[in-house]
Amino acid sequence: MSYCFTVGCSHPENPNSAEYCQGCGQFLLLQNRYLAIKPLSRGGFGRTFLAIDQQIPSHPYCVIKQFLFQYENPKDYETAAKLFRQEAVRLDQLGKHPQIPQLLAHFEQNQQLFIVQEYIEGKTLFDELKESGLFSEKKIWQVLKQILPVLQFIHEQNIIHRDIKPANLMRRCSLDPLQNLLNPVEDLTQSPPTLKMGEQEQVQISLKLKQQISNIFSEKNSQNTINQNIETGDIVLIDFGVAKVLTGTALLHSGTIIGTPEFMAPEQTRGNVYPASDLYSLGVTCLYLITGISPGKLYDEHNDQWNWKNYLSSQQIISDRLETVLNRLISPAINQRYKSAEEALKDIESFESSINIAVKPVISIKKTSPKLPQTPPKTPSLLDRIKENFGYQPLNDPLKSAVGVDYTKLQTLLAQKRWKLADQETWLVLCAALKKSKKAYIHAKDLENLPCEDLKTINHLWVKYSNGRFGFSIQNQIYQQTERDYGEFCQQVGWLTYNPHNPNYGIEYKISAPIGHLPTRNWIIATGKWWQHLEILAEKIETCKIN
């Protein structure tokens, strides 16, 4: 299959034989050279594709990143293109590090910006966790000792990665040439796209030869080789998107949030970022690899502290030295974290004699209960933990808006369980969707003009990240159950039946608040029949067919 790069193409998937997109008619080869064969990821600032370089006889894989941004006039694009070229030079410098993908090309086409980077063959630490089980102390030390020097390198170049997480740390395969022959990337070489007839025959012969050679080796020996190399390969830091190195420029406004919420440092969720923010994300990544638990659940919001040790398996051994290093990395206060990757490395080097002590890897866990003061829930299996955490990815949220409202910040705050800030952001996006000024009070009747797409997006984010406790649709269900009795509804969701002078009086910004408690009604103007907002909202939810 080949894939179209055109933004908004209704049918981007195309058969291998296609030269032009069947959906929009665009020529499929970028620069008459690069052919996308598989989308890898999509974020607020661009898309990433696995591609083939058609100009090199071996048709090697590469990764293409398409940078997307909105501009209002041609000058904005010219500025963006100029900055893009400047920052591509910096990415080229980064690629000289052996643990950072090399920049192969950068170009502009159809007023879109692209970079082409080296394809890293291997498995992410997220995949490694799924396949091999929780990380041992020895493996965590290995992650720290390999990635901290990379962070030191990029920070010295005045670049901050901003999105350190297991899925962006890839252990490079260090297989010998024969083993590489036996292990093509997934099934992507099974039918190479847009090859000439002679090339197709050569590929088919090559694949048959690989299969015959593969049959010579026993399955057991092959697995042992792969497992050994997964453990010993260098860890590469991937996903250096252009947006991350352009953040300090005029292209992206101050306060732009980039990253994955659950691995973000607190200051990053507010739009501020420092080298120490990467250190925090690396520390949280280690916690996830040790426990398999969503980082958000490892933090005790009531006591404002991490409780990750309560979720360790009974088979795990974590030394005081590793605990000390991790706790400094994940400190919410910047002044209590390591000042730099270099400082963290020096601290680790002082523990060198202990780092090399072999600790038996934990490849499976028994179902045990975390050591919490109160009666804890039954600990799920490792696979269940991973599914629970990564069953949703913020990048997959349909952040649709009929009027161009950006819901990224609301998404981030909700994923971080920052309920009060999320409630305030909800007010702002409602104003934006209704084309009102920021923090303007909204009349109940105004809700009739709220686009369905925007209402669906806001509601979806609240329901999803509260696990079905909060959201407009949840409030509507309760409103219907009370037979549209506003007083009884308020009693059910924990609201006052009147508007207090302090709008936050009686509001609980926590997950344990009554079901339907959030989002609040603080944005409704407190004049006239203000309580009718719920009636109008209920009708709007029905009109928009929101469940």
* Non-local CB neighbours of 28 within 8 Å, separated by 6+ positions: 2, 3, 4, 5, 14, 18, 19, 20, 21, 35, 36, 194
The Cα–Cα gap between 43 and 163 comes to 12
The answer to whether 78 touches 65, Cβ cutoff 8 Å, is no
Annotated catalytic residue: which of 53, 163, 239, 423?
163
| Greatest distance between any 2 Cα atoms in the chain | 82
The Cα–Cα gap between 28 and 19 comes to 6
The Cα–Cα gap between 52 and 50 comes to 7
The Cα–Cα gap between 528 and 326 comes to 55
Peptide bond into 519 cis (omega under 30): yes
The Cα–Cα gap between 143 and 151 comes to 12
The answer to whether 49 touches 40, Cβ cutoff 8 Å, is yes
The answer to whether 169 touches 143, Cβ cutoff 8 Å, is yes
The answer to whether 540 touches 447, Cβ cutoff 8 Å, is yes
Give the 3-state DSSP-derived string for 164-207, with helices as H, strands as E and coil as C.
Answer: CCHHHEEEECCCCHHHHHHCCCCCCCCCCCCCCHHHHHHHHHHH
What does DSSP assign to residue 228? H
Closest CA relative to residue 152, chosen from 400, 343, 319: 343
The answer to whether 171 touches 234, Cβ cutoff 8 Å, is yes
The Cα–Cα gap between 351 and 239 comes to 31
Closest CA relative to residue 494, chosen from 507, 479, 505, 481: 507
The answer to whether 250 touches 83, Cβ cutoff 8 Å, is yes
CB burial of residue 516 (10 Å; 0-12, 13-18, 19+): buried
Q: Which two tokens stand for residue 341?
A: 């990757």
Q: Which two tokens stand for residue 74?
A: 């041609």
The yes-or-no answer on residue 163 being catalytic is yes
What DSSP assignment string belongs to 420-445?
HHHHHHHHHHHHHHTT--TT--B-GG
The answer to whether 31 touches 51, Cβ cutoff 8 Å, is no
Coil, helix or strand for 69?
Answer: coil
What does DSSP assign to residue 66? E
Coil, helix or strand for 309?
Answer: helix
Annotated catalytic residues are 163
